Structure 1
Amino acid sequence: VEEPPVELLEHEPLRHRHLRSGRIPRAGDPVTGRVRLLVNGDVAFGVCRPAERESGFYKNADGDDLVYVHEGGGRLESMFGPLEFRAGDYLVIPRGVIHRFVVEGDATLVTIESASGMEIPRRYRNEYGQLLEHAPYCERDVRVPRELETHDERGTFRVRIRARGVVTVYEYPFHPFDVVGWDGFLYPWAISIHDFEPITKSIHAPPPAHQMFEAHSLVVCSFVPRMLDYHPEAVPIPYNHSNLDSDEVLFYCNDQFGSRKGIEVGSITLHPSGLPHGPQPGAVEASLGKTRTEELAVMLDTFRPLQMTRAAAEIEDEAYSWSWKTT
């Protein structure tokens, strides 16, 4: 059994958080280098800044993995064949799929490890599963493995299997991708955040308008460049609000988020349920008259509270929770 346990912080005060993921040192590979920052019984949210180009063979038997490629590119190899990816791609890896990553360049991966299936939101699909015309993306945007690469090799192949919350290493006497074909509808797939067609309105559209995926007790949204609210009297940034049902996590892919200040590329904010939040001082005034935003961000909303890990505390900007003060 490998992998040290995740150390959770107990009895933390309720406050808004800002984590600087760029401070996470490069280490490990695209699987072993994952640093879990925020967790609950449904999901683990983390960042991976791998130092090594290739991961070993890996299977998550506990749930689905959603990986957002913030920086870098490469390919995801599995028994279904290779799947090329690049910056801006989401990779959906269903539970039980043996796979490995081969990355190019200095990669940064955002990892959302869900205990349940990661799916396209039900309201985007008809009764047969086809995407409806109002959906913000379509089947043509989805990329799947196209060519099977068989590996008829003998030897010792180590496969890390995550099950029941721990990782066990098995040694196979044959290559894990030694298959002659596959059929069915369970396979890894990719879609780019840049293929998400934003929904705009004359007044502010709340986060469900940006939803990309759903799983049990969580949703994932994509905030992409788009027109801002176009009513003549609209204030084109989010209003102050309280999250009564969810914790809100944002990963900032650039520093163009209009309602935040002090944010850098790779920043992560946590706005927990029970506290109001909204534009920081000066943001409303700065937004007036603007017609477009270039923001790019990935949001995770969880319907059960998240706990911070010790690793998250080590990269926290503790001044963030006071950034709404005007004096």
Structure 2
Amino acid sequence: MTAKTGITLTVDGTDVPIRSLRLDRGLAYPVGRAQIVLPAGVAPPAVDALAFLTAQTGGSTYRLMTGSLQQVTNRATGAHLTLLEPLAALNVTQADTAYSATTAGQIITDLCAAASVPVGTILPGLTIPHMVLGSGISLLRHCLRLAQLSGLALTSDANGLVSTAALAVPVPTGSFDTQRAAQELADVSFPDNNAKARVTGAGAFGASGPGMTTLPMADPASIQSGPPDAAIQTRAAALRILSDTLVLQTATDQRSAALSAGVKLHTPLPVAASPGDVVTIPDANGLPLRLTRIESLSVTLSATAGLSAQYAFSDVRGM
């Protein structure tokens, strides 16, 4: 007997039949989106309803995405739904807000809490004696920038929990077996991306605000990590201590190396993994295993093409 393969949409605890689906989730912009078409005659759920997309493959069931319905369009051929991950709630602005004696991770946690976005593991990240988040940028962009300056990636898992991942410290969480790689596995390389980085921060001198006393005043007014002739030059006034510049420089170096070589995978069998996860996959010839980070995934379902998943991985070998 062949095991059932398919996708289930569950809205407020009730399964809803679907006719077609396009799901996209990525590490570069961690607000996943699913475009769903219901069969004709099926009543669409209400906007803002909590929804889950679940995959059934190879006798296993696991969640692909959690979000809320942001748009419902009724059509004669079937309602069209748009599902967005919880981080979409941070696509708003707030008044200028000052933070003192804190960390980037704590600010990200506070911003998520204010928007009722659930969080998983948020690493401390950048040391912040004093910072003002301006009103002209969305809270999501502030979170992405704080994570980037901390050498972290902002991620959202299949349950909608927001976390940060240390880019310089890949921790394997799972693997793809050769069955799931049966359709297509191709190496991709971009050697020009493999460039060294230099990071310059403002240092402790000249810092102001209530949190300045937390800084090691031995750090000079301008602090650098990385070779002077590096191809990637990053300057950030928010970097006040030398250890933070080193973390960002190391993460940038390793991220550049990771993106210089990667893998694309097309498979009829999606797996229980999310962008940002570090997994092992078989090489293009099936062996040996290699360590990679999931950069993006897309899942499609249609009556003509059936179920298919596409993954893009960066290569974290040698980190």
TM-score > 0.5 by shorter chain: no
Which TM class, normalised by the smaller chain length?
Answer: under 0.3
Q: What TM-score do you get using the length of structure 2 for normalisation?
A: 0.27
More helix by share: 2
Which of the two has greater strand per residue? Answer: 2
Larger RCO (CA under 8 A, 6+ residues apart):
1
